[in-house]
Amino acid sequence: MRTISRILGLGALLVAPTLFADVQIGPRPFYLIDDMENGWLKSTLDSCRDMSMTKSDFSIGHRGAALQFPEHTRESYVAAARMGAGIIECDVTFTKDRQLVCRHSQCDLQTTTDILAHPELAAKCTQPFTPAEFDANGERTKAASAVCCTSDITLDEFKSLCGKMDASDPDALTVEDYMGGTPNFRTDLYATCGTVMTHRESIELIASLGAKFTPELKEASVTMPFQGDYTQEAYAQQMIDEYKSLGVRPERVFAQSFNLDDVLYWLKADPAFGRQAVYLDGRDSDPAFDTSKPSTWSPSMQQLADMGVNIIAPPTWMLVTLDADKNIVPSVYAQQAKAAGLGIVAWTLERSGLLKDGGGYYYQSITDAIDNDGDTYRLLDVLTWDVGIDGIFSDWPATVTYYANCMGL
């Protein structure tokens, strides 16, 4: 299997020493193994129960460890590193004063922070909180809503917020109720006040944890150029420049974007960083896109490779399908990506509810073949050996770290 580290070289971290010498797996990998159907894979994974685990670049912390910790907070990143994530993600967006911060979306503060509990900041939101409305029969006619963007506030104001689990209650009549709604497969146990991070702070922290970096340049929710002269190119370059200013070697940074033009910009303007930039493939949002029909893909896999793209990252479901016997097998999409010489990173494991209920978005192409949480490892095994992925994002990195160590990746 062609790995990213083999393509690009591992590089040595010169910024700071590793904080955690020992990886702490916790009980979840064993819960998943116990839940698996009997067979070779279960026996193999079970045989590694007493193995000493080490950090793995195959294990990528998706927004940190977002299954149970508020995403893009210091606590979430530290948890991911403790669980052996060799690469940790900061989604990057900007504030009103053009400072880069870690948020999954420019306009998600209403669901991922406590901004609505700060009246002076809530008043600055693009759309202040409005309660739900119901008819005489108690049926909801309008969901509770709010839109609060990082670009609505300054960096200092952003830093005054607490991170919380990404959630909201559409039936809420009050701000307090709206800020609830955490899904039942997650938890608020570690969401007392998550420490929000600037992008620069995330670099310093992740470096101190001994991990590599995968920043995602988020699409701006405001019109670009912002404030008249802050262009998309300036935004893309600013993100790279923060790594350069801290002396981080390019091969330790896997810059990402759903916007192909961002990847092509990095390839041209800063090729040392651009050559391992990751094109996040979200083309499944196009109704005409079909993972089994290359004629519906534009550009094609070979065209992407010819542009200089080295790594593509689709959602897990696009990489697999079922054969006539309901075995999980590589999709045409996966086969074409490998044929074009593209490295593949998948997203996102451990981001769905119970697999007995079908697994949701990330499992949609194989729903008929899964019925228990242990099938998480069955999917991961196919992605690893049959598809040939180079790594996978997970909301709970311990699951992937255990597998990577057991399989000798």
Residue 230 pLDDT > 90:
yes
Long-range (24+ apart) CB contacts under 8 A made by 295-300 are 297/333, 299/260, 300/336, 300/340
| Digit-coded pLDDT (tens) for 180-198 | 999 999 999 999 999 999 9
Domain-embedded: residue 180: no
pLDDT at position 354, please? 86
Average pLDDT over residues 272-278: 98
Instruction: Evaluate whether 378 touches 339 at the Cβ level (below 8 Å).
Output: no
Q: Name the pLDDT band for 14 (thresholds 50, 70, 90).
A: very low
Domain-embedded: residue 370: yes
Domain-embedded: residue 264: yes
pTM for the model stands at 0.94
Average pLDDT over residues 224-252: 98
Domain-embedded: residue 133: no
Residue 7 pLDDT > 90:
no
Instruction: Evaluate whether 139 touches 127 at the Cβ level (below 8 Å).
Output: no
| Digit-coded pLDDT (tens) for 293-307 | 999 999 999 999 999
Instruction: Evaluate whether 322 touches 378 at the Cβ level (below 8 Å).
Output: no
Domain-embedded: residue 176: no
Q: Name the pLDDT band for 152 (thresholds 50, 70, 90).
A: very high
Range of the domain at 42: 27-106+190-407
Domain-embedded: residue 199: yes
Percent share of the chain, pLDDT over 70: 95
Domain-embedded: residue 111: no
Q: Name the pLDDT band for 9 (thresholds 50, 70, 90).
A: very low
CATH number of the domain that residue 262 is part of: 3.20.20.190
Domain-embedded: residue 212: yes
Residue 201 pLDDT > 60:
yes
> Which residues have CB under 8 Å from 136's CB, separation 6+?
none
Least-confidence region, from 8-22, 115-129, 155-169: 8-22
Taking the C-alpha atoms of residue 115 and residue 123, their distance in angstroms, rounded to an integer, is 10
Pairing of strands 328-330, 320-322: antiparallel
| Digit-coded pLDDT (tens) for 68-84 | 999 999 999 999 999 99
Domains: count for the chain: 1
**Burial group, residue 99, by CB count within 10 angstroms (0-12, 13-18, 19+):** middle
Percent share of the chain, pLDDT over 90: 93
Q: Shortest CA distance to 91 belongs to which of 348, 406, 400? A: 348
Length of the chain measured in residues: 409
Residue 258 pLDDT > 80:
yes
